[in-house]
Amino acid sequence: MRIDRLIITVILLNCLGVYNVFAQKDNVWNPDNGNGTFTNPIFWGDWPDPDIIRVDDKFYFVSTSMHYVPGCPIAVSEDLINWEMAGYAVERYEEDPRYDMQGGTLYLNGSWAATIRHKDGKFYVGFCTPYGWGREKGNFSVCIADDVKGPWERVIFSEYMYDPGLFFDDNGKVYVVHGQGTLYLTELNEDVRSVKGSPVKIWEGGFKNAYELGGAYGMEGAHMYKINGKYYITCPAGGTEGWQICLRSDNIYGPYEHKLIMHDDSSYPKNGLHQGGMVQLKNGDWWFMIMQDRGPIGRVPCLVPVTWVDGWPMLGEGGKDLITYPKPSVGKRSKFKSPATSDEFNAPKLGLQWQWNHNPDNSKWTLKERKGYMRLKASQAGTLKEARNTLTQRVQGPTSEGTVEIDISGLKNGNIAGFGIFEFPYAYVAVEQMDNKRRIVMCNDGKIVESINDFNNTRLWIRARVMDKDFRALFYYSLDGINYKRIGDTLKMGLGLPWTANRFALFNFSKTAEGVDGHADFNWFHFNDK
């Protein structure tokens, strides 16, 4: 669809007031304007390194999740605008005891730069796992399933392929395009479970005018497509303030020519739209899901149309983002849908919105021992950083608020149970029990900045409010669930764990061995964006 037609359609739809009558929006960000248009971002939260595919009438989206478990979240949509969670490709990481916080931790490991494809009735999700924080060593995994809901089989390769992009050619061959700066193509065996050939270098170095755009950054996050007989590789470059490049060749091994297809930071200066994947609709239109770094809130996906100009997929309008567009022409209207947030803990399983910090100890949490509550049993740890079974979900922008109700009658000496915002630095409000006495504490960056002694209630309500303006988080507590008071100081949200956004976090850990039998019961978690 041409951009001038897009603009005219937006104006007409707004004037006519064509509303979606299927549902009302919840108290969560949704890009659907209800009048046939949408406004970016698609998710106002941390869904980094997006890749998308279409299978029949549904679209599937995969994202990176680093050390959070389960890993590689997958969402599903009928219109590319309204999404809901479908599952995860990785249940837990078994290859290193540090994922269990035994002998250390593995922050920033797990899944990087996920890629999703579908072939002959099977879904394939690939990702890399760097060793440490670098890009030089690690491993590559492919997860295979008949249904995105699972079960998934994970195959860990001994070969390391950084920022992988799976590609099924129409001649039956399977490849991974990978690398940073220098791009390689590695052929896999037909079953996608092992490497068939050695890596072949297909691109090296930067590109023309790279310095004028802010530095000669090499491409990464590659995704490959074959369109009208030509091979295309889309790559981000330039990092947080970066842009999107496309390579093109008549031969899969090159030589490749290149073109800048998007360079725009107007929607969230100075951070440019970069990295993602594109998908074709049944009617032939193409769209590109591309992310934008929004600091401690996360790397958010945005959807932009593709206009083919001289055989190149130009994104937005001449490489710029209009922010608001007519919805993709999928031939149907969709109900308002957003990935779940609030949870009453009434279901037999945790909602798909939740991820644990590292692998959970499944003997230390339960939804069954007390109906309608999520019980966290304490594990011994010195700080929240080392605590197991910290349960998290994304904060969202531009503002979001999370509130919990906790029954702390089961705490024992040494226990610290509460709710807060997790990254490095982190901050929380909790009930701490020592010497059979309890107090409310507000901890910021590892230091208690305010405490309320002689707390004798069995319940506490805790609230955290997050704003993308100056990246602040404020904290509150209540003794009755109605009247809330500010406590402590303001958390200046940061990114001590690079590329990993801040999260709401529920926890219970013990500083003493005596307290490992203590438990905290979370009655509910409520989210809103007001």
Tokens of 423: 């990254």
For the annotated catalytic residues, the residue numbers are 49, 220
Sign of the Cα torsion 265, 268, 270, 275 reads negative
CA distance 175 to 162: 14
CA–CA distances in Å: residue 362 to residues 367, 394, 512 = 11, 22, 20
Tokens of 464: 């955290």
For residue 482, the number of C-alpha atoms closer than 13 Å in the C-beta half-sphere is: 1
CA angle, residues 482, 485, 488, in degrees to nearest 5: 145
Q: Which secondary structure element, helix H or strand E, spans residue 182, and what is its range?
A: strand 182-188
Residues 6+ apart with CB under 8 A from 284: none
CA distance 431 to 418: 6
253 φ/ψ sector (left φ>0, alpha ψ -120 to 50, else beta): alpha
CA distance 184 to 426: 39
In contact, 377 and 510? CB cutoff 8 Å? no
The gap between the terminal CA atoms of the chain, to the nearest Å, is 35
- DSSP-derived secondary structure for 272-337: PEEEEEEEE-TTS-EEEEEEEE-GGG-EEEEEEEEEEETTEEEETBTTB--SEEEPP--SS-----
Q: Which of 271, 337, 298 is nearest to 83 (CA)?
A: 337
CA distance 22 to 366: 36
